[in-house]
Amino acid sequence: MSLIYKKILLWVLCSSVANLLLYTFLSLSSTSPGGTSQARVRPRVLKPDGVFWKLSLDESALWNRLQHALDRAHNPILRNGTAGRAVPRLGGRCQPNPGVSTRVRDFNTLPRRVKDFVASMHCREYRLVVDQPGLCKGERPTLLLAIKSQVANFENRQAIRESWGRAGRIGNATVKRVFLLGRQDPGSGHFPDLTGLLELERRRHGDLLLWDFKDAFFNLTLKDVLFLKWLGRRCPGARYVFKGDDDVFLNTEALLGHLEGRSNESRDLFLGQVIRHAAPLRKVKQKYYVPESLYVGGYPAYVGGGGMVYSGDLALRLGRASDRVVLFPIDDVYMGMCLEKLGVSPTEHPGFRTFDISEGDRDNPCVYRSLVLVHRRTPGEIIRLWKRMHDPELKC
Ligand SMILES: *[C@@H]1O[C@H](CO)[C@@H](O)[C@H](O)[C@H]1NC(C)=O
Ligand SMILES: *[C@@H]1O[C@H](CO)[C@@H](O)[C@H](O)[C@H]1NC(C)=O
Ligand SMILES: *[C@@H]1O[C@H](CO)[C@@H](O)[C@H](O)[C@H]1NC(C)=O
Ligand SMILES: *[C@@H]1O[C@H](CO)[C@@H](O)[C@H](O)[C@H]1NC(C)=O
């Protein structure tokens, strides 16, 4: 009897040790840091898939709370006769918001940029200080290039004008160009006064749009929203819009070739590098940090903000959909939210490399022929690459 008992005990002991070893091995191998770590890749937490707009009301996060109220206000059944009273106003000029620090539970411990965002997220009407009312008069652009820039980035803008951002006719297409700017002057932080230079540039090139809000990373969403509104007013006939950063290299000819080939199903086109199953980063030091008190939930599928292309028709609808989506500090995620509101999915294009290409290919102009967009190029690199790609001697 006792022998059998001992045998059983031994067996149990052995199998638990084996289990323990197996468990340790598995957990070690699953937490081993990615050996081929790429410094340029934006880290994203992976989350299981789910339908984005089926958000349950989470009272603990400000964005979710505001969006929930907005959804109810726009829903004729839920609104239920309380017309007007509970409808939050998204528009309106920015008035100081005294109750702001009570709207988020940990407001005082949040980093400055998040505080600034929370304090102004109810404002989205800013004066257009520099306009280009005549840009789209005359010929309807096949492609409008809308490039997010900052006042001080004169060099980036000039490099783009001299290379991939040339306006005019390319093949059968008409290309036009605008740069999207916010304020970056002594009135909005510690900046040198560049108004004189900017005025010179405006007169010379006629391709600047500048709004009266502070040009900050967490204000980039404002650029999207205000640009879409501007497009509806000033350039509703544009067939396609490219929107991207001023430090990318765009293969404009390849893009136009691609767009020409797909004229049929282009109404809902939203093209770029699609990022799926992403979720907010929760470490304060991260550039894309979004606290739990501001937002809970995963992100919808979205296109990396370095560069994206959408149809003019979709742009106008996105502009209207943005009225129903509370501002979110990360602009490409915000566009993904608006897309979901319209029930449109982004389209993946392997030629958009917003996370850059391998180091060995960086200087090879032939590689870029098949690419549409690469991220992080200096003005000098942009010019050089353009020249080499258009060198008649180039053999690939
Ligand atoms: C609509 O209002 C009535 C009376 O105010 C209330 O009893 C009912 O629950 C409301 N319905 C919804 C969906 O809120
Ligand atoms: C321009 O359009 C004409 C007629 O539609 C066509 O024959 C020609 O191939 C096009 N050129 C280019 C460069 O796409
Ligand atoms: C965005 O711009 C507004 C208006 O200039 C400003 O009040 C706010 O602080 C800015 N937001 C951020 C995050 O800097
Ligand atoms: C455009 O799409 C329609 C229906 O989806 C199809 O019947 C037609 O052949 C397509 N035309 C071209 C040129 O691809």
Pocket test for ligand 1, best of 80, 82, 85 (most atoms within 8 A of CB): 80
- Give the DSSP H or E segment for 46: strand 45-46
* Average pLDDT, integer, range 55-78: 81
What's this model's pTM, rounded to 2 decimal places? 0.83
Q: What percent of the chain stands above pLDDT 90?
A: 68
Whole-angstrom distance between the N-terminal and C-terminal Cα of the chain? 82
Indicate the SS3 state at residue 329: coil
Span 363-372, average pLDDT: 90
* Structural domain containing residue 309: 128-185+194-389
pLDDT, tens digit (0-9, with 9 covering 90-100), for 70-112: 888 887 776 655 544 444 555 556 777 778 888 899 999 999 9
Q: In total, how many domains does the chain have?
A: 1
Strands 307-311 and 240-245: antiparallel
Residues with Cβ within 8 Å of 339's Cβ and at least 6 positions away in sequence, in order, are 270, 300, 301, 302, 318, 345, 346
* Residue 308 belongs to some domain of the structure: yes
Q: Which tokens in the block code for residue 202?
A: 């405006």
Q: How far apart are CA 37 and CA 98, in angstroms?
A: 45
Q: Is 98 a domain residue?
A: no
Q: Residues with beta carbon inside 6 Å of ligand 3?
A: 113, 116-117, 120, 213-214, 216, 218-219
For residue 374, being part of any structural domain is answered with yes
Distance (angstroms) between ligand 1 centre and the Cα of 147 equals 47
172 CB within 6 A, ligand 2: yes
Residue 366 domain-assigned (yes or no):
yes
- Give residue for tokens 């979205």: 302
Q: Where are the alpha helices (DSSP H) in the chain?
A: 2-31, 62-73, 76-79, 100-103, 112-120, 154-161, 195-205, 220-234, 252-261, 312-321, 331-342, 365-369, 379-389
- Expressed in angstroms and rounded, the spacing between residue 172 Cα and the centre of ligand 4 is 22
- The CATH number for 314's domain is 3.90.550.50
Lowest mean pLDDT among 39-43, 324-328, 383-387: 39-43
**Ligand 1 neighbours by CB, cut-off 6 Å:** 78, 80
Name the DSSP class of 359.
G
Q: What is the pLDDT of residues 236-281, one digit of tens each?
A: 999 999 999 999 999 999 999 999 988 667 899 999 999 999 999 9
Looking at ligand 2, which atom is closest to the CA of residue 171?
A: 13
The CA 172 to ligand 2 mean position distance, Å, reads 6
Question: Does residue 90 lie within any of the structural domains?
Answer: no
Q: Is residue 144 part of a domain?
A: yes
68 is a domain residue: no
Residue with tokens 């000098």: 380
